[in-house]
Structure 1
């Protein structure tokens, strides 16, 4: 196993929780899809080419699952770069956890009540955290 500075471990935990969130959303999506198939709300042939036939809640979960591969990809890269340049202090750790908290809140809102204004505010907060992480990494790299 490679070596990592001790501070880098503090950033691995939020990264792992973000990955766990993605897998949890996948599980919710799968459960909702299986439920729809079992209840005959949709047939496999209806969704073979397009996902538009899934019930609303299954679509919400699928959309959120797709979202887990958008800004979180930037988060993963920022975590790895932060570890590489040694930007692993308490501020970066708090930012990383803040981002993950925003993703958890976003997933709950998206799959739950899906209030678009609230969901956008949560999403925007996460993006601001990513920008702050980038600034911290740039400062550490100079």
Structure 2
């Protein structure tokens, strides 16, 4: 598989992270600018942000949890030449679950739907790691 094909889902995941960062910033500035939130109220924590702002912040923060395992796997798969079509399809599936998860988080925040998207991502990422591990551990030893 080409490097571009393997890295395309990574670029999409990074783009999602930046998009959520921008959304969070815009929502925060809007609340402060409208006078609904005073800087002193949020200077030491995020408890005083309105739910809509906190949802964007949580969605952004979430991009540094489960996706870390994705970011760790991609270079390993590239380095060991184990990134094939199955890997790329599963990588895109993982990113799709993250998009759905973040989308639910910043809109309806319907927890059961958000949880299903999260668990789908966990499952896809687990399969990615399991396939990679099996391919590495069962590969013939190099001389």
Query: Map of 1:20-35 to 2, 5 A cutoff?
Result: 20-35=15-30
Q: Runs of at least 4 residues of structure 1 off by over 4 A?
A: none
Query: Map of 1:75-86 to 2, 5 A cutoff?
Result: 75-86=70-81
Task: Could you tell me which runs of 5 or more consecutive residues in structure 2 were left unpaired when the two chains were aligned.
Answer: 138-143
Cα RMSD, aligned residues only: 1.0
The separation in 1 between residues aligned to 2:8 and 2:73, in whole angstroms, is 14
SS at match of 1:25: helix
Query: Map of 1:26-105 to 2, 5 A cutoff?
Result: 26-105=21-100
Q: Deviations over 1:74-126 (max 9, x none)?
A: 11001111111211111100000000000011010001000000100000000
Say how many residue pairs are matched. Answer: 137
With 108-117 and 77-86 compared, the bigger mean Cα shift is at 77-86
SS at match of 2:35: coil
The separation in 2 between residues aligned to 1:139 and 1:87, in whole angstroms, is 10
Aligned counterpart, 1:111: 106
The separation in 1 between residues aligned to 2:43 and 2:52, in whole angstroms, is 18
SS at match of 1:49: coil
1:131 and 2:92 correspond: no
TM-score, normalization by structure 1: 0.93
With 82-91 and 62-71 compared, the bigger mean Cα shift is at 82-91
The separation in 2 between residues aligned to 1:115 and 1:87, in whole angstroms, is 37
TM-score, normalization by structure 2: 0.92
